[in-house]
Structure 1
């Protein structure tokens, strides 16, 4: 899931769903038919390898998409089904694919929140969370799984969800970045499931890595990832500065802040924008930069510290 922006750092060109495309000698991509304002043209499922393969993010619970992935792997043994995180557009398809092939599900652990719910609060993205997901093996930082011509390394990237993983393909200096970094849009960070501080820390972590291309969960590739990740981090800092400026100017709630800094936004994305502002405010309150009347919530009143 994502929060669409109109910043020049993003690439609005979207690959089409409905066909299996070779991206390199080791990587193929098929996009699930679940396109929309939060998923671009759909969830990108990746097949890594040839004779023995890994399938990354089989996507939503869509039997036709799973059948297409099985057909694309024809003649190859599926060694592993890897999942980056537990949103319903990424992980439920893993169980369907396992039922078809018997391959183990590896990768992220069960869905978990960044913090406990405050009194009267509810999980704002509850409908998108796949709370059934239980991998056969949970992968942690630096752990690998390998096939004859590929090695995938787990890279912990919490923030969008707290169990979010990326997978580095060592043989191609490539990173399957899930929803943490995407070329077409910023990733939504929605408390309590997500954490802006964890997200920003994960961006800083990726800036130290050497991959030269990212293959994300939605949209096309990130071709200059170090520069792009730096741009994403700058974009977030500018968003935080805008929120602080609105509070200094007298805005006291998230609705007023969204009205001021997201002018012209597609109405369908206002809820996502509010959650993004909320994530920034939660971090600002924790750091003592902003005050709230009680624990930060969507309906809280915010004032300068």
Structure 2
């Protein structure tokens, strides 16, 4: 996990990492969002798409409108529906007349309390993109890449003209992604990482633009490291359970040295996601609140 850089941050300012891509940072920094959510405006010839419009903050929406300028917004595109990514879609659509396009609405099939707390339950897309479907504008093509795991409805968007991939929260430029059950699924997350690894390389995705953190200039190397990191966590869990059965909170001080206390809940959910995946694969089992190897 990267250290949050000192202020000032470029909140509300238009930055242009490459000719077809502008970036605007939302004013929502936190231990989970780094310096804030990065919204991307793609296109330069009068027709643009907005990727991950961010939180419904009036100052952020005004900053996006300034970045859009006189261009026509062809689509407002959401990678997933966490509350720091999609709530600004509706007010931005009202201001621009653009359709909301991208990931599907989230449906969590559980009665667990607060299981959808982090999600934007008002999200209502005009069009849901399937894997491989595209949105086009003058001079650009954005193609959906289905990457479930961080959330079940997560998409990335490939900018075919430049080799950039907008990775939302699946791959971030400052930290590994949190996988929170019941919607987050570690098995799906690992499969999606492998999918991105296969895409990257000489003729594949050249750079990743994530919703949080710096551009990722060596995507294949980073994704390989992320896969290795998750395998190490999995092996840690199996080793600790090999010593004795354990309950979920017991893993955290053993696995996450010096963890920010504000991230304890996220760490527990990540371990739980690994345990559920290991259980599904027949390597561990649960008895009430206690986990053990089989």
Q: Give your verdict on TM over 0.5.
A: yes
Equivalent position to 1:86, from 81, 85, 91: 81
Deviations 1:155-207 (A, max 9, x none): 00000110000000000100000000012101100000110000000000011
**Is residue 16–residue 41 contact of structure 1 (8 Å, CA) maintained in 2?**
no
Counterpart of 2:59? 64
**Is residue 151–residue 169 contact of structure 1 (8 Å, CA) maintained in 2?**
yes
- The alpha carbon displacement at 1:13 in A equals 5.7
The alignment partner of 1:78 has SS state of strand
Counterpart of 2:174? 184
Deviations 1:219-253 (A, max 9, x none): 11111001110100100000111111111122511
Pairing of 1:8-87 with structure 2 (within 5 A): 16-50=10-44, 51-87=46-82
CA distance in 2, matches of 1:28, 1:11: 24
- The alpha carbon displacement at 1:122 in A equals 3.3
| Number of aligned residue pairs | 287
The alignment partner of 1:160 has SS state of coil
Pairing of 1:273-284 with structure 2 (within 5 A): 273-284=267-278
Please state if 1:152 is matched with 2:146: no
Equivalent position to 1:110, from 102, 105, 111: 105
Please state if 1:170 is matched with 2:160: yes
Please state if 1:226 is matched with 2:220: yes
TM-score by length of structure 2 reads: 0.94
Counterpart of 1:291? 285
Which ranges of structure 2 fall in alignment gaps of 5 or more residues? Answer: none
- The alpha carbon displacement at 1:112 in A equals 2.5
Equivalent position to 2:93, from 91, 94, 98: 98
CA distance in 1, matches of 2:198, 2:249: 36
Moved over 3 A (4+): 10-16, 120-124
Counterpart of 2:132? 142
The alignment partner of 2:157 has SS state of strand
- The alpha carbon displacement at 1:264 in A equals 1.0
TM-score by length of structure 1 reads: 0.91
**Is residue 166–residue 177 contact of structure 1 (8 Å, CA) maintained in 2?**
yes
The alignment partner of 2:238 has SS state of helix
Counterpart of 1:297? none
Query: CA-atom RMSD, angstroms?
Result: 1.5
